[in-house]
Each structure stands twice: as structure tokens, then as C-alpha cells.
Amino acid sequence: MVPTGIVHDPVFFEHRTEPGHPETAKRLSRIYASLEDRLDDPGYAAIAPRPARREELSWAHSAAYVATIAASAQREWTRFTADTHASARSFEAARQAAGGLMAAIDRVVAGQARNAMVLARPPGHHAERNRAMGYCLFNGVALGACFARRSLGLQRVLILDWDVHHGNGTQHIFDDDPTVLFFSLHQSPHFPGTGAYTETGWGPGAGYTVNIPLSRGYGDAEYTLLLATLLPRLARSFEPELILVSAGFDTHRKDPLGGMKMSSDGFAALTRIVMDTAAQCCLGRLVLFMEGGYHPPALARSVHAVLDELGGKTLSDPAAVGSSADSRLTDPVFQRCAHVQAPHWPGLGSL
């Protein structure tokens, strides 16, 4: 049996944040507490991270920015924004997170892992080419897509971002690039303020950004119906060779930073949709990278629900979960999405 890969490492505890900061090492320790048992199961295998090289980091970031983050390792504490900091080991943790995703992608594309999940910190999707923001230093998922394209020779990568916050950094890094389709569902209005329907990419990348901004209050049924309707249609047209997920868990109903109503079972259903889509379009090649999620017990339950699904321990039924969706929440999304996206994606024209 080909196992589900899991990237985990103590280095990810070494990125420190200020007392009271939501992005704390406790997030990871709750998840790691039951990881040893899981890794005793032959259905799972640990994948060791590696540091992304300077040259690799510069695929998605400027060389000057990479040097700035690297220089933070010389200091006890560096403040990039009011809520985004580096401790002396943050550079190492952030490049191991990105390199861990590259190692996971390598295994999945080689057929040595059926799929994989990277359980690291700091998160990445807010990091811009030249700027740290939103707790993020290096944009892991963007670097992973660059690795798949440049080092493995894949032609097209689909990035799904289901974090409650819009992945502004990922969108901007690829907004003129037709080889990476960025598809995001996120709460709006909310931090960072980007991610309108009308942000669809530009130049050769026009149409290769698909944003679904959502008001507060969407839960398992609504998210499941939206994803089950939109993702397979996009994937059939785009034909990705790999799907990456910026897997944020701050849409959980207990999360202090989000206003959504997801549960751990809902994340399993979303995972099943992405697994089914990947099976149909790209030999099941799927790697998830953990982004947000700031209620440690809810985060740990949700991550393990996703790992159960990835490893085939559970088999969610997205059709059943989505059947109770509140159409007052989902119908306006389908209408707006069809209107904006029909010129780019005919499959979304009649939702």
C-alpha cells in the first residue's frame, strides 16, 4: 500500500511569536501529540523536511527579500509588521516548511506517497514576493507550485485555498501566470481585504485566478456544496497535473479569528472532494499545506479528520453533507461566480 505522507519536525516549534499571539507553537503540539500513533500505521509515512535553498526561495520572492528574512536569523527578534515577527530560528523554520512541501510534492509525483500533508509553521499564503505579512514569512504553497513546475517539469498546478483569509500573496505571485490556477474561498470583508470576484488575473494569467468571497456564517454544508460544484468543473477545464491546498482551519466554528461555522467533519468532506477531483484529473496527486487555524483543540481535531480521509480511514459523502446547504447562502455565490467566470471558464457559466 502506498502511504499518505506527513511532514512534521521539531524545527517548526522554533519559530517563536509574542505572548498572546494567535499563531503559537501550541497549535502544532496539539496536532503532533497523536501523530506518533498514526505513524505506526502502515497507511502513513513520515516525510522529512529539508531547507529550501536560497535559489528555490527566489522563485517566488525577490533575492533582496530572501536576504532580509535570512538576516533575521542574526537577531533575537525582528518585527516586520505589527503582527508578523521573526525570532532567531524563524528563517530556518520557514525554509524547512517550504522545503518540506517540496519534499512531499517530490514523493507524491514519484508515486511514493498517495498524497501528503505538511504540518508546519509559520504559515505562508499571505507572504508577498517582497513582504512578510499576516504571520507569514515565505509563501510555502507558492514555492511548492514553483518547485513542481521548475524542478519536476509539471505544466499546470491548481492551488485551492480554503483558509478563512484570502491568500493575497499566492494570488499576486501568480496573477500573470497561466500555469498556476489559484482558486480561493474566503471570508469577505476580512483581512487582508483582497480577493474580490473581479480579481481574475491579468496578462497571460487573465482568468487563472478564481475568487469566491463569502459573508460570515457558511458551514460544512455550504462549503461542501460550493467546492463540490466548482472544483471539478475548474479542474476538468484546466487539467492540472498536481493539486496543492492552502489548508487553513480558521473557518472552524470555534476559531477566534474567523466567522464561519465549519466542523472537523466538514474538513473531511472538503478533503474527499479534492481527493476525488485529483483522482480524476491528475492520478490523485494532492498535497495539503497547513495555513491558519487558531483554536488548537479544534485545529488538531480537524487536521486529524483530514489525515483520516487522506489515508482512507474514513470515507466522507460530500453529496450527503452538501444536501442541507442553505440556498440563500449558496445561490448568490453561484450566480455571481457564473457571471464573472463564464468568459474564462465555460463550465462555470451555467451553475
Active-site positions read 126
Residues 261-300 that bind Zn ion (CB under 5 A): 292
Minimum gap (Å) between residue 293 Cβ and Zn ion = 8
Minimum gap (Å) between residue 200 Cβ and Zn ion = 22
Backbone region of residue 54 per phi and psi (left: phi > 0; alpha: psi in -120 to 50; beta: other values)? alpha
Per CB under 5 A, the list member of 9, 106, 163, 222 interacting with Zn ion is 163
Query: What radius of gyration, in Å, describes the C-alpha atoms of the chain?
Result: 18
Q: Which is nearer to Zn ion, 67 or 196 (CB)?
A: 196
Closest CA to 156 of 246, 56, 281, 272: 281
Single out the segment in contact with Zn ion by CB under 5 A; choices: 82-90, 100-108, 243-251, 314-322: 243-251
Collapse the DSSP code of 87 into the 3-class scheme (helix H, G, I; strand E, B; otherwise coil) and give the result: strand
Single out the segment in contact with Zn ion by CB under 5 A; choices: 150-158, 160-168, 172-180, 215-223: 160-168
- Rule CB under 5 A: say whether 23 interacts with Zn ion: no
Single out the segment in contact with Zn ion by CB under 5 A; choices: 91-99, 162-170, 204-212, 302-310: 162-170
Residue 110, judged by CB atoms within 10 A of its CB (0-12, 13-18, 19+), counts as exposed
Single out the segment in contact with Zn ion by CB under 5 A; choices: 59-67, 102-110, 176-184, 246-254: 246-254
Collapse the DSSP code of 245 into the 3-class scheme (helix H, G, I; strand E, B; otherwise coil) and give the result: strand
Helix residue ranges, H only, the chain: 26-32, 35-40, 54-57, 63-71, 90-109, 140-150, 168-173, 220-238, 264-281, 296-310, 318-322, 327-341
- Rule CB under 5 A: say whether 161 interacts with Zn ion: no
CA angle 163, 167, 172 (to 5 degrees): 165
Per CB under 5 A, the list member of 9, 177, 250, 255 interacting with Zn ion is 250
Q: Which is nearer to Zn ion, 165 or 272 (CB)?
A: 165
Q: Which is nearer to Zn ion, 175 or 291 (CB)?
A: 291
Minimum gap (Å) between residue 165 Cβ and Zn ion = 4
Torsion of CA 325, 290, 156, 167, to 10 degrees: 70
Per CB under 5 A, the list member of 165, 172, 233, 295 interacting with Zn ion is 165
User: Contacts with Zn ion: how many residues (CB under 5 A)?
Assistant: 5
The closest residue (CB) to Zn ion is: 292
Contact between 194 and 161 (Cβ < 8 Å)? no
Minimum gap (Å) between residue 328 Cβ and Zn ion = 25
CB-CB neighbours of 310 under 10 Å: 28
- Rule CB under 5 A: say whether 308 interacts with Zn ion: no
Minimum gap (Å) between residue 83 Cβ and Zn ion = 12
Single out the segment in contact with Zn ion by CB under 5 A; choices: 65-73, 141-149, 155-163, 177-185: 155-163
Determine the residue type at 241: E
Retrieve residue 33's grid coordinates.
Answer: 501529540
Instruction: Return the half-sphere exposure (C-beta side, CA atoms, 13 A cut-off) of residue 37.
Output: 6
Residues 99-138 that bind Zn ion (CB under 5 A): none
* Chain residues in the site for Zn ion (CB under 5 A): 163, 165, 248, 250, 292
